Chains A and B, each alone.
Chain A
Amino acid sequence: MAKLKTKIKAEPSLAQIGKLVAEYRGQKWALIPLFQVMQDEFGYIPPESIDLIAKALGLFPVQVQGVISFYAQLYTKPQGRNVVRVCRGTACHVRGGKTILKLAKQYLGLEEGETTPDYEYTLETVACIGVCALAPNIVIGTTTYGHMNPKKVAQLLGERKGRE
């Protein structure tokens, strides 16, 4: 699935959602493109949209929910402008990934899957991102930062702590 931008807008109204969904009426196959457009537009897929999407596309609401839950890249909550993904794959794990995650949590004041109230940061974990040679790894937005250690984490995210 294509990479998804994340951006933040004010919570969309039902009317806004409805307008977007209306363009896909009756097109069952269009579920994924619709999700992408929606996430582009709102930064996430508002749960209130599930019923509307289901109705417009002739699906059951649970089917829509099921597809959303299948893709890690689809969010049902607004995401921060910077999505921080700490790798929890095996290679990263053996090289201290756990500590990296602990530090990231501390600096951001977040648990996994959470977003800061100002929508600046979202913290997530991923399984192996495919650059094990650089383990342990952190990805922020689309940039990968390899050979992580506590000092580097502080450089990347420490500023955030200062602002708290």
Chain B
Amino acid sequence: MNLEAITITLNGREVSGQPGMTVLDLARESGVAVPTLCHDPHLDPVGACRICIVEDERSGALMASCVTPIAPGMVINTESPRVQERRKTIIKLMLASHPDSCLVCDKGNRCQLRKVASDIGVGLVEFQRIPQLATIEEVNPFIERDLSKCILCAKCIRACQELVGEGAIDYLGRGFASKPATLGDLPLEKSECTFCGTCVALCPTGAIMEKDKVYTGTTTTTVHTVCPFCGCGCGVYLEVKDNRLVRVRPDADSSLSRSTLCVKGSYGCDFVHSSDRLSSPMVKVNGNFGVVSWEEALGVVADAFKRIKETHGSSSLVVFGSSKCTNEENYLLQRFARCVLSTNNIDNGSRLYNAATHVGLWETVGCRGTTNSFDDLERSQVILVIGTDPTSSAPLVEYAIKRAVKRNGAKLLLIDPRQTKLVSWANLWLKPKVGTDVALINGMAKVIIDENMLDKECVAGKTTNLETLAKDLQEYTPGYVEKITGIPSDDICHAARFFAKAGRASIVYGDGITQNINGVGSVAALANLALMTGNIGDGRGGIYALQMENNAQGACDMGTLPDFLPGYQGVEDAQARKIFEARWGCQLPVGVGLTALEAISGAEEGKMRGMYIVGENPAVSFPNSNLVRQALESLDFLVVQDIFLTETAKLAKVVLPVASFAEKEGTFTNFDGTVQRIRKALEPFGNSLPDWEVILRLATTMNSSMPYSSPQEVMKEIAELVPLYQGVNYAKLDVKSYRLGKGQIASEKMKFSPVKYIPQPSPEDGYPLTLFVGTTLYQFGSGSRTLRASRLRKLLPEAFVELSKSDSRKLKVKDGDRVKVVSPTGEVAVLVRISDTLNQGMVFMPAFFPEGLVNGLFDIVLDPRTKAPALKTCQVRLERIEGDG
């Protein structure tokens, strides 16, 4: 549609804009500055502050430019004497009810009220001051409010309701007494607030402020980069002074996060200044670490690798890459493993949960990850969420789901045995028995086929194998599925219709799907559902595979995998081999390498001799952590490269200190395939070096230099040799992030893939409870970084297990009692928390407690296809610890 442009006169000049633009939009586009306070491009306009008034010279009318659409023939003056006079009055009125604390206010010259006032030329205020509300007592470590500085612009309220979808605050009261308040006017920590920090970033004054900052002062440099925690890839600005982070604030222009962040991004990045940071390379002598120079440390590593390679062969060496490191670093690392160590024994931590996606989606829809863009998710009419609690594991995705529901009228179909926060947003909530997802999905697929709700065009034109699938689904009648899942057959039919009838239906899944024993099958079953309803690709719904870490997608894309060269080109693919061999001037190793857990088992058996672990903490994050630790200890040689002395690093012979995300250049690829630049804001801590530099130096020490001098050069090669990353370059990324394009979707026909429901092995007697392991909003992964963030740490509870009321009664335990959680593999002692989010028979523990606490309960049970471990649920029992409560 090409709408006719509208021409108006603006300060004596003719300018034109599109219908629907406001006077403010057009003024800004034309380079005319108009002051604003309550306006924000991401929020619904309210026209509250009136500071943006302009005059229409035809009628003499003054109007708020941020809410006035342009109309043909307008003659707008943005600086007429009347406008200026009125703006002065408005500012004076605001200042009259504002405390005289500018000099000590931490908002400093970031205060927009102060800036607008001085631009307009208002200083002292002759109005009588109006008595003000007092500061609110808050005990949370993140945010404090002094509403005497509030100018009632409602940005915080709109941000919280429209962007974050939390709805923690709204106006309370009327007239002078009104202010943004929580339900019941309680402190933030007693409200729905999740401390995402969005309101803090958008408040134009010092009314809502960051609290308990580690370092204060006036920012001297600001650097744009990407949040280092989850796979959402929120854009952040790091504000720096004296080589210290002063503040992290959301990037308003990020196509993904649009001014929002979660508590980890906003208030968790100061782990980079933790006193636990490793500052020098260390070598262990007689059980004690001693500080050495880089040359010496790398010399020890190079010698050890050479010796092992000569005596035991390349296949006794293993490399772990990291889903937290950049694309460039992972690329270098796999080249190092393949060319210098001559082994395909390379893996990364995210494969443990991601492999199911790589295989399951590839074999059906021909994708290695999320099929559609993040934006598309918000446009969905139905969103099916299964096997994930995005509220804690992917907050940005949760915001988008809530926005879709609240603002676009999307319907949420939630499949989760736990009562998560999203339940209150769901139109339909199904609670299948643990481990029965595949049966449920198959049941829905059968209803869709039987009731002829297929997208015939898509099925006929783009897919194959429907007949086989239909035949295989015969047994999954609603009645049969009800028996397996415990979900009433009516609900199953209802859910199927609900999903099939939407024009755009999307599926969001997480590690609850991929980390089951049959992860690949579960993913494929979901893909069948999407395919038969045509929900793949542009203009339709999509499949969203959530990622736990910032660069989980990228690490796999870069080929830190035992079976793939970069870009999922098989290690046996002759053509790909030729290309890489020519470029790298080396002979690539033959045969698929060992996965991480196979390598661990190999170490235990004495077949693995040397290991190089970059940015992973398997001693905590892998199942059966006791066994993993023993295996690592039994190695001839272990070198760990990390920012902290993690539980894994403690077991190493050599520890190499590296730069944090804030101290280096590179790129991350988020869960929807968006590649973004990360940039250096701080000097590397102590003597640490960026991972990429360490890898290069190590290669040189081993007399196999790799010819790159910067991450940028590495990316240049990636873009040339990896079809998936074609077209990616720093110059482009500096202008705009880039979503990996069509390379993702296969050109051939997509294929339905029948999946059998495999009943969970019946639990051994004596372990009647199902343990779920998951994330919580305030901690991340194994906690190595968030436990060192000064404010997140304050919220750290003692290790606990949550259980339902009825189980607590049965076990005769109450809140705060100490119990033993016992699985066939291990046991841990923790506190009891009673929770109404759980059903009888379910217990929950967060994954982040250190010392491998939770993963010690899991045995190593591998998915038969991907050899990734099941790490989501296992059977346990609780034992009261006598003499306690």
Chain A residues packing against B (C-beta within 8 Å): 50, 55, 58, 60-63, 65-66, 69-72
7 A-B pairs with the lowest CB-CB distances in the bound complex, closest first: A60-B167, A62-B170, A66-B170, A66-B171, A69-B172, A62-B183, A70-B174
Contact B170 A58 (CB under 8 A): no
Which residue, A50, A55, A58, A66, has most C-beta atoms of chain B within 10 A? A66
Q: What DSSP secondary structure best describes chain B's contact surface?
A: mixed
User: Cβ of A65: which chain B residues have Cβ within 8 Å of it?
Assistant: 170, 172, 183-184
Q: Are A55 and B183 in contact (CB under 8 A)?
A: no
CB of B172 within 8 A of CB of A60, answer no
Task: Give complex CA distance A65, B174 in Å.
Answer: 12
Kindly list chain A residues whose C-beta atoms are within 8 Å of the C-beta of B168. Answer: 62
- In the assembled complex, which residues on chain B have CB atoms less than 8 Å from the CB atom of A63? 161, 167, 170
For residue B595, CB closer than 8 A to chain A, the reply is no
Q: Which residue on B lies nearest to A61, using beta carbons? A: B183
Q: Could you tell me the distance in whole angstroms from the C-beta of A57 to the nearest C-beta in chain B?
A: 12
Q: Per a CB cutoff under 8 Å, which of B161, B171, B173 touches A60?
A: B161
B424: interface (CB < 8 Å) = yes
A-B residue pairs in contact (CB < 8 Å), sample of 22: A55-B424, A60-B167, A61-B167, A62-B167, A62-B170, A62-B181, A62-B183, A65-B170, A65-B183, A66-B170, A66-B171, A66-B172, A69-B171, A69-B172, A69-B173, A69-B174, A69-B178, A70-B171, A70-B173, A70-B174, A71-B174, A72-B174
Cα–Cα distance between A71 and B173 once the two chains are bound (Å) = 8
- Whether, in the assembled complex, B110 has its beta carbon less than 8 Å from a beta carbon of chain A, the answer is no
The one of A50, A70, A72 in contact with B183, judged by C-beta atoms closer than 8 angstroms, is A50
- Please name all residues of chain B whose beta carbon is closer than 8 Å to the beta carbon of A55 when the two chains form the complex: 424
**Closest residue of chain B to A47, judged by CB?**
B184
Beta-carbon nearest neighbor of B174 in chain A: A70
When each residue 190-215 of chain B gets 1 if its CB lies under 8 Å from chain A and 0 otherwise, what string results? Answer: 00000000000000000000000000
Interface residues of B (CB under 8 A from A): 161, 167-174, 178, 181-184, 406, 424
Bound together, the chains give a CA A50 to CA B182 distance in angstroms of: 13
Q: How many whole Å from A54's CB to the nearest CB in chain B?
A: 8
Query: Which residues on the B side are within 8 Å of A71 (C-beta)?
Result: 174
Per the bound structure, the CA–CA distance linking A61 and B178 in Å amounts to: 17
In the docked arrangement, what's the CA distance between A72 and B169, Å? 20
Expressed in whole angstroms, the Cα–Cα distance for A70 and B171 within the complex equals 8
Contacts of A61 in B (CB 8 A): 167, 183
C-alpha gap A70/B168 in the complex (Å)? 18
Query: In the complex, A63→B161 CA distance in Å?
Result: 9
CA distance A62 to B173 in the complex (A): 12
Chain A: which residue is nearest B182 at the CB level?
Answer: A62
CA distance A147 to B885 in the complex (A): 69
Q: In the assembled complex, which residues on chain B have CB atoms less than 8 Å from the CB atom of A66? A: 170-172
Beta-carbon nearest neighbor of B171 in chain A: A66
Within the assembled complex, what's the spacing in Å between the Cα atoms of A39 and B184? 20
Closest Cβ of chain B to A52, distance in Å, is 12
| A70: chain B residues within 8 A (beta carbon) | 171, 173-174, 178
CA distance in complex: A70, B181 (Å): 13
**A50 to B170 Cα, complex, angstroms:** 14
Across the interface, which residues of A come within 8 angstroms of B167, CB to CB? 60-63
Contacts of B181 in A (CB 8 A): 62
Query: How near does chain B come to A55, taking the closest CB pair, in angstroms?
Result: 7
Complex Cα spacing A122 to B438, Å? 61
Flag if B169 contacts A62 (CB, 8 Å): yes
Q: When chains A and B are docked, how far (Å) is the Cα of A70 from the Cα of B174?
A: 5
CA–CA, A63 and B172, complex, Å: 9
Tell me the smallest distance from the CB of A112 to a CB of chain B, in Å: 14
Closest to A71 in B: B174
In the complex formed, the residue of B with least CB distance to A60 is B167
CB distance from B338 to the nearest CB of A (A): 54
In the complex, residue of chain A having the shortest beta-carbon distance to the beta carbon of B181 = A62
CB distance from B177 to the nearest CB of A (A): 9
Write out the residue numbers on chain A whose beta carbons fall within 8 Å of the beta carbon of B173: 69-70
Query: Which residues of chain A have C-beta atoms less than 8 A from B183's C-beta?
Result: 50, 61-62, 65
A127 CB to nearest chain B CB (Å): 9
A72 to B171, CA, bound (A): 14
- Bound Cα distance A65, B161 (Å): 14
Closest to B405 in A: A58
Q: A65-B183, A69-B174, A70-B174 are in contact. Are A58 and B169 (CB under 8 A)?
A: no
Q: Which residues of A contact B182 (CB under 8 A)?
A: 62
* Chain B residues, Cβ within 8 Å of A62: 167-170, 181-183
Q: How many Å from the CB of A62 to the closest CB on chain B?
A: 4
CB of B424 within 8 A of CB of A60, answer no
Contacts A62-B167, A70-B174 supplied; 20 other A-B pairs, CB < 8 Å: A50-B183, A55-B424, A58-B406, A60-B161, A60-B167, A61-B167, A61-B183, A62-B168, A62-B169, A62-B170, A62-B182, A62-B183, A63-B161, A65-B170, A65-B183, A65-B184, A66-B171, A66-B172, A69-B174, A70-B178
A62 to B178, CA, bound (A): 13
Smallest distance from the beta carbon of B647 to chain A beta carbons, Å? 42
A61 CA to B424 CA, complexed, in Å: 12
The chain A residue with its CB closest to the CB of B172 is A69
Smallest beta-carbon distance A78→chain B, Å = 18
- What is the chain B residue whose CB lies nearest that of A70? B174
With most chain B CB atoms within 10 A of its CB, the pick from A55, A62, A66, A70 is: A62
Residues of B within 8 A of A69 (CB): 171-174, 178
CB distance from A89 to the nearest CB of B (A): 14
- Chain A residues with Cβ under 8 A from B174's Cβ? 69-72
In the assembled complex, the CB of B840 is this many whole angstroms from the nearest CB of chain A, namely 24
How many whole Å from A41's CB to the nearest CB in chain B? 23
Cα separation A66 to B152 with both chains bound (whole Å): 14
A66 to B173, CA, bound (A): 7
Q: B178: which A residues are within 8 A, CB to CB?
A: 69-70
